[in-house]
Amino acid sequence: MQRINCIHTVKKNKKGSEYSGFVRHIAETIFGSETLKNSSVTGRQSGRTKAPAKPKLDPKLLGAVIGIFQYYLVVEVKLDPVRVSQEVKSTGEHIASKIADMNRKSKKKICDPEGASNNALANVETEVTVNLNNKNQPEARLRNEDDERSNDDDDDENSNDDDENGSDDDENPDDEDSEDNSESDSNNK
């Protein structure tokens, strides 16, 4: 007979019961990580993904996990029988979440670190760097054709206004107009 040494600190867990970590650890110890990854608790087909059903976990070993958990709650934690039965009912859910987490982690490891997703991020970072470096140069701004047409009319009007006011600022007049227009639009509503 193999003795399982499991020392587990009980913490309140986001994923449900405060004892889910204990159940997850015992299940991995008894079944092994490969068996858990390739199995399911019930053996039923997923209603969400319609993927083929995975084989059911061995009922004897599942009973062992439940028995160990029940013993832990009664003897070590000293819970009342009602609470013990409530916690034992959720054993399958804890094991199912462990299986899902293990499968999720294995999918992340499969991804290529120099894959297409990283190249896309590099391109975005490059574009942001270029835009930040050329922020004060109006020629470097990207415009749509529609924006150019509407801004050409505004530029002619603004150049006359700037000359009348005597300002020789090199600021982009489009930025000031867009702020003024947005303020007047909000005031009209």
Assess whether pLDDT exceeds 80 at residue 4: no
Q: What pLDDT score was predicted for residue 48? A: 86
Res. 62: pLDDT tops 80? yes
Task: Indicate the burial class of 1 (C-beta count within 10 angstroms; 0-12, 13-18, 19 or more).
Answer: exposed
pLDDT exceeds 70 at position 154:
no
Convert 148-185 to b/e letters by CB count within 10 Å (16 or more is b).
eeebeeeeeebeeeeeeeeeeeeebbbeebeeeeeeee
pLDDT tens track for 34-61: 999 999 999 998 888 888 999 999 999 9
Q: How many residues does the chain have?
A: 189
For residue 81, give both structure tokens: 């029988």
- Are 22 and 6 in contact, with CB atoms under 8 Å apart? yes
Given the structure tokens 């499968």, which residue do they identify? 103
Tell me the pLDDT tens digit for each residue of 105-153.
Answer: 877 766 555 544 444 443 333 333 334 444 444 444 444 444 555 555 5
More confident residue, 161 or 84: 84
Q: How far is residue 98's CA from residue 103's CA, in Å, rounded to a whole number?
A: 9
Average pLDDT value for residue range 27-32? 96
Structure tokens at 14: 């986001």
Residue 84: which pLDDT band, with cuts at 50, 70 and 90?
very high
- b/e string for 60-82 if b means 16 or more Cβ within 10 A? eebebbbebbbebbeeeeebeee
- Give this prediction's pTM: 0.52
Task: Calculate the average pLDDT of the chain.
Answer: 70
Q: What is the pLDDT of residues 161-173, one digit of tens each?
A: 544 555 555 555 5
Q: So what's the pLDDT on residue 130?
A: 38
Please report, for the chain, the start and end positions of each structural domain, with discontinuous segments joined by +. Answer: 19-103
Residue with tokens 């003024």: 180
DSSP state of 40: B
pLDDT value at residue 129: 36
First to last CA, the chain: 79
Please tell me the predicted confidence (pLDDT) of residue 18: 82
The topology under which CATH files domain 19-103 is Arc Repressor Mutant, subunit A (1.10.10)
Cα–Cα distance, 6 to 64 (Å, whole number): 14
Position 82 pLDDT exceeds 60: yes
